[in-house]
Amino acid sequence: MTTQQFLGAIGLGLVLGGPLAMAQQAPFGGEDDVNYAASLWSALQEANLVGEGRTMSAPYTGQHPHGAILDTIDGEVTVDGTSGPVIIKRNYGGEGVSKQAVWNEPDAYLGAVTVMFQREGYDPENNDWFWVKYLPSGELDTNPKGVPLAGRVAKGMDQGCIACHTAAPGGDLVYGHDRFQ
């Protein structure tokens, strides 16, 4: 084997074992999920649910894995011509975080934005929820293996969005209320 063939094989191995390959194996994080998550973020911005000037709800004490302090708001948005209910949970943390600190200076403590958007026909086994975790900038967060957290996040796995939310009362995968059936 020549040096060039060896380096090519290493490069191929890195590509095949990298985030793209892992996303293709996982039920989430693929190209379609990433593109849809970008469209969803745009719809959320247009509705003033994320980004600068966003509508806030009263901060409350959170829990793992979301954040020490949370702010949750829901509504309806239209993404790529399809309307559906959406739940936005803003996850706050950091030194000095408190409900009052978040209320006064939310951007200083915002760590992530987790979203559930109900897409008719998307995933009937899980109430058609599309799951996504954004960084405050709107960029997708990733799991430790580099796979984007968008789509059927952790479907069939022991931990993750769907695994945790299957324990929500009411069978709708929603904690806190049962407005979205």
| Mean pLDDT, residues 131-139 taken together | 95
Residue 6: the pLDDT is: 32
DSSP state of 129: E
pTM of the model: 0.79
Averaged confidence pLDDT in the chain: 81
How far, CA to CA in Å, does 180 sit from each of 41, 86, 107, 124, 141? 20, 9, 29, 14, 25
- Going by pLDDT thresholds of 50, 70 and 90, the confidence category of residue 171 is confident
In sequence order, what E strands does the chain have?
60-61, 69-79, 82-92, 110-118, 129-134, 150-151
| Mean pLDDT, residues 106-119 taken together | 94
